[in-house]
């Protein structure tokens, strides 16, 4: 008798990870919107707004995957993203408004979040290849690509605008 993917521990592990990422995306959408308002540099504001909007697309894709799997997610809360979001909120609260230093610290916090999401999506893409839902794998890979692109863009903003301005502020 052949065992289906839904009868394996791998499927259970995958769905737990998917729920975690779903909770992460919901939290990140809110966090990025708030960080966009708190940032000083127009490029950073725009990047964070775009990432928040992309987060809505990620949420929709994850919901599609849940539907493909005929799986109803339980409580979706990601403790790691909760902590990283608290770190970002702490920066906004404790670093002077309207400074490049604050924006540099916001980028740091956002890239910590992005790297967690990149690792999560990368792992889920490889797991999905084993579970055997190619359409879901494509959706996850789209999210992974967007996360990598967003991270690279944040690095460009930091290098080209924010870090040089923060250095001038500290001189």
Q: What is the block-wise mean pLDDT of the chain (171 residues), using blocks of 10 residues?
A: 56 93 96 95 96 96 95 88 95 93 96 97 93 93 98 98 95 85
- Residue 136 sits in a domain whose CATH number is 1.20.1260.10
Q: What's the full length of the chain, in residues?
A: 171
Establish if 45 belongs to a structural domain: yes
Establish if 25 belongs to a structural domain: yes
52/11 Cα distance (integer angstroms): 29
33/49 Cα distance (integer angstroms): 6
User: How far lies 43's CA from each of 39, 140, 154, 160, in Å?
Assistant: 9, 27, 9, 10
Establish if 4 belongs to a structural domain: no
Establish if 114 belongs to a structural domain: yes
132/92 Cα distance (integer angstroms): 43
Q: What is the pLDDT of residue 102?
A: 96
Establish if 5 belongs to a structural domain: no
Q: How many domains does the chain have?
A: 1
Establish if 48 belongs to a structural domain: yes
Q: What is the pLDDT of residue 6?
A: 53
Establish if 2 belongs to a structural domain: no
75/154 Cα distance (integer angstroms): 31
CA angle 153, 154, 158 (to 5 degrees): 120
- DSSP for 82-118, please give it: HHHHHHHHHHHHHS-TT-HHHHHHHHHHHHHHHHHHH
Establish if 17 belongs to a structural domain: yes
Structure tokens at 89: 């909120």
Q: What is the pLDDT of residue 7?
A: 54
Q: Which domain holds residue 122?
A: 10-170
Q: What is the pLDDT of residue 129?
A: 85
Question: pTM here?
Answer: 0.91
């Amino acid at each position: 008798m052949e065992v289906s993917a839904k009868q394996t521990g791998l499927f259970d592990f995958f769905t737990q990870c998917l729920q975690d990422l779903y909770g992460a995306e919901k939290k990140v959408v809110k966090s990025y919107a708030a960080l966009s308002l708190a940032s000083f540099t127009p490029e950073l504001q725009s990047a964070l707004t775009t990432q928040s909007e992309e987060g809505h697309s990620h949420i929709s894709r994850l919901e599609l995957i849940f539907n493909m799997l005929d799986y109803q997610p339980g409580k979706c809360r990601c403790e790691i993203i909760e902590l990283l979001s608290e770190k970002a909120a702490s920066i906004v609260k404790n670093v002077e408004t309207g400074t490049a230093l604050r924006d540099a610290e916001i980028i740091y916090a956002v890239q910590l979040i992005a790297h967690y999401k990149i690792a999560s999506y990368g792992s889920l893409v490889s797991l999905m290849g084993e579970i055997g839902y190619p359409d879901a794998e494509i959706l996850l890979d789209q999210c992974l690509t967007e996360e990598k692109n967003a991270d690279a863009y944040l690095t460009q903003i930091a290098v080209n605008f924010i870090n040089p301005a923060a250095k001038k502020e500290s001189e």
